A and B are shown apart, each in its own frame.
Chain A
Amino acid sequence: MLDVALSFLAAFHTVFQPVNLIALVVGLVVGMIVAVLPGLTLVMGVVLALPFTYGMAITPSIILLTAMYISGTYGGAFTAILFRIPGEPLDVPLLWDGYAMAHKGEPAKALGWTLFAAFFGGILSTLAAVAMAHPFATFALKFDSPEYFAIILFGLTSVVALSGASLINGFISLFLGLMIACVGVDSIYGAERFTFGVPMLADGIEYLTVMVGAYGVGEVLVRLEQGFQTPPVQAGGRVATRFPSIREAWGVRATLARSSVLGIILGIIPGAGATIASFVSYGTEAQYCKRRELLGTGIAEGIVAPQTASTATVAGHMVPLITLGIPGSGATAVILGAFLLHGVQPGPQVFVRDPGLVYAIFASLFVGVIGMCLMGYFAIKSLIKVLYLPEAVTSAFVVMFCFIGAFSARNNITDLWMIVIFGIVGYVFERFRFPIAPMVLGCILGTQAESAFMTSMISYQNDWTIFFTRPISGVVMVFVAIALGYPLLRHLRQKRDSRPPDGVSGARR
């Protein structure tokens, strides 16, 4: 443990190198701007920044993207609290107590609680991730292909189970993503699959074009159909942040602890993300918080819980990404893309080959949390001015970033067509309430899932029970079953609870 602590401390020297520090600051600023703008999600922001990393070294590239990611979980809180405009879906729970507190005449205090929560959520989760990453990687060295397959399957099923209006639609979206990953030449036999004689398809469909198209262009098209109707921002009074007193902060220690743990755990689970963590932690407070009956009226716990959890997911997400090479969210998938573009395959071996890089990423998260809070405190007034930018103009620029990002990867116009196609797919999915995340995650993890499945089958003579009989993969498969069964049980329970008990109606009569 001491060597981990020493490596972590030594990595701060790397973070404070001028190039890395510039990347960090730029990432924090851009991440906050992206989070403040309602038409841009933080995943889109990270995607759009990717082409800028092509010419950079790996350390500043990853620092830039992770800084954008972490500040993206915080920036949207300003507009949610001050104007009732959630910059990101993860900021929606902040409307309930954050906006309510602001509405009661205490916006500065609501902003102070957000800053406090983001700071502690970020710092605690980063320290936890540093402590967990090395043992996790050492444990992961024992994994064989059945374990990898089981973990990927868990990630895929949990993203379906957690999000979306319909499990069935989630599964269809996931299967589409897995099929997209099948296109091209298969890695084991070299057989062409679903190429239809098109040479470009032999190389497969880049998951980045799917992501950029579905998240970027698709989202812009959805907002275009709504006529870019972001509510007009009211010219407010003085915007300031007021910190909670030590006594007040001590009063929410249980909420802080619960939400940090939830954020880290949900960050580690592939498929769950900041939005899920934000909602789940709010839901947890609704059950366990001492003042739960006051939730929704503008109390600190209702602000601290979602903000702490959503910021804590970022460090949590970095653990499976770095130790297993498995991205658990759209943003970490882009960061994985940046790793691969620079010729580094994340996984347990990266701790052996390049521990400096790993700890530099964690140290940058630590510094990033502090920088993001300083920025939130001092630059909030300037940051929210981006809301005055006309959405039609910013959206046109977003599409352009999508195009250039896709084009610059291979200098091929076909990739632009892919962006357009998946942009339309993304729009259709949104329109008919099919979740996009399973498709994107299926597309990203499909190749790894197939490879782990095929290798397992070849190594264990087509014995599919191997996924259940090996201890680690067997345990993970139980989690897969829970992930699939839980929404169904929850739905049945809700239906049962909403049904009036026998005799009630009669008694009323």
Chain B
Amino acid sequence: MLNRLRRTVPYAIVFVATAVLFVFANRISFVAPGGRIGPDVWPKAILALSMLTCVFQIVKILFSGGSGEQVPGVLESIIEEAPADATVAAAPEPTYPHLIVGGIVLTVAYVVLIERLGFFLCTFAYLAAFAWIGRYRRPLVVLASSLVGSLLFMFVFMKVVYVSLPLGQEPFSQVTFLLMRLMGIR
């Protein structure tokens, strides 16, 4: 039973989230001419269908006799019928949960810091750190590819495609300005 309850968790979370959104949908303010349906009908219909789907799945998991079997899409059925030796990932692949935490933290840090450090410094640090987190352990290759990559990104997007990438704040912006001068970016 505990296993079944655990399997209902994702659907319960979606149900609660949609229920909360349904409450917000009730608060949409608008003036509709007589008889016309308002802008709340469409989102409410979607939310109601979403809640119904979740309830159906929760009930099915809890009371279907334990199999909790899902109806797969057509592609999944075809793959199941495929030749036995065809499965690409037959052996369970090892996973590295700590890497995913590191990757997400690093990516969030990039967005937080880009306006302060500027595009070049932030990108250089990100490229190097990401490759390192991704278990690539050749420091010279990591540093060289990060440096060349950041410079190339800066040149292509600022000089060729005219994207206004973040310059950074003092004193980091000085690095950006120096590089811009060297690349002839105005």
Contact = CB atoms under 8 A, between A and B. Distances in A.
**Pairing of A with B:** yes
Interface of A: 51-52, 54-55, 86, 92-93, 95-96, 160-172, 175-176, 178-179, 182, 186, 188-194, 196, 217, 220-221, 224-229, 275-276, 279-280, 282-283, 286, 295-296, 390-393, 395-397, 399-400, 403-404, 407-408, 411, 413, 416-417, 420, 423-424, 427, 432, 435, 450, 453-454, 457-458, 461-462, 486-488, 490-491, 494
24 contacts: A54-B163, A95-B88, A96-B85, A161-B73, A162-B75, A163-B76, A166-B71, A172-B54, A182-B43, A191-B40, A196-B24, A225-B99, A227-B95, A390-B131, A392-B132, A392-B135, A395-B130, A400-B123, A408-B157, A411-B164, A420-B107, A462-B37, A490-B74, A491-B72
Please provide the 3 A-B residue pairs with the shortest distance between their CB atoms, ordered closest to farther.
A392-B134, A166-B70, A396-B130
A283 B56 CA distance: 32
Given A168-B71, A194-B25, 19 more contacts: A92-B86, A164-B75, A166-B70, A175-B49, A178-B46, A182-B46, A186-B39, A189-B32, A217-B107, A227-B96, A276-B74, A390-B136, A390-B138, A396-B131, A396-B146, A399-B130, A400-B149, A413-B114, A491-B71
Nearest to B57: A168
A171 B75 contact: no
Given A182-B43, A221-B100, A395-B130, A279 B35 contact: no
Contacts of B72: 164-167, 487, 491
Contact of A226 (B43, B83, B96): B96
Contact of A163 (B39, B73, B131): B73
Contacts of B46: 175, 178-179, 182
Contacts of A279: 75, 78-79, 82
Query: Which secondary structure dominates where chain B touches chain A?
Result: helix
Given A193-B39, A454-B37, A179 B47 contact: yes
Interface string B103-121: 1100110110011000000
A184 B163 CA distance: 26
A432 B38 CA distance: 35
B131 A420 contact: no
Contact of A96 (B18, B47, B82): B82
A228 B135 contact: yes
Contacts of B97: 225
Given A168-B56, A407-B163, A424-B104, A224 B133 contact: yes
B126 A175 contact: no
A453 B42 contact: yes
A190 B82 CA distance: 51
A411 B11 CA distance: 36
B130 to A, nearest CB: 4
Given A92-B88, A182-B43, A408 B163 contact: yes
Interface residues of B, number: 85
A437 to B, nearest CB: 10
Interface centre among B21, B40, B75, B160 (most CB of A within 10 A): B75
A179 B19 CA distance: 13
A167 B71 CA distance: 6
B47 A224 contact: no
Contacts of A189: 30-32, 38-39
Nearest to B164: A411
A403 B110 contact: yes
B14 interface: yes
Of listed A165, A295, A453, residue having the most chain B CB within 10 A: A165
Contact of A224 (B30, B103, B165): B103
B21 to A, nearest CB: 7
Given A390-B131, A396-B130, A404-B163, A226 B74 contact: no
B149 A397 contact: yes
B111 A417 contact: yes
Nearest to B89: A226
B74 A486 contact: yes
Given A413-B114, A416-B114, A454 B42 contact: yes
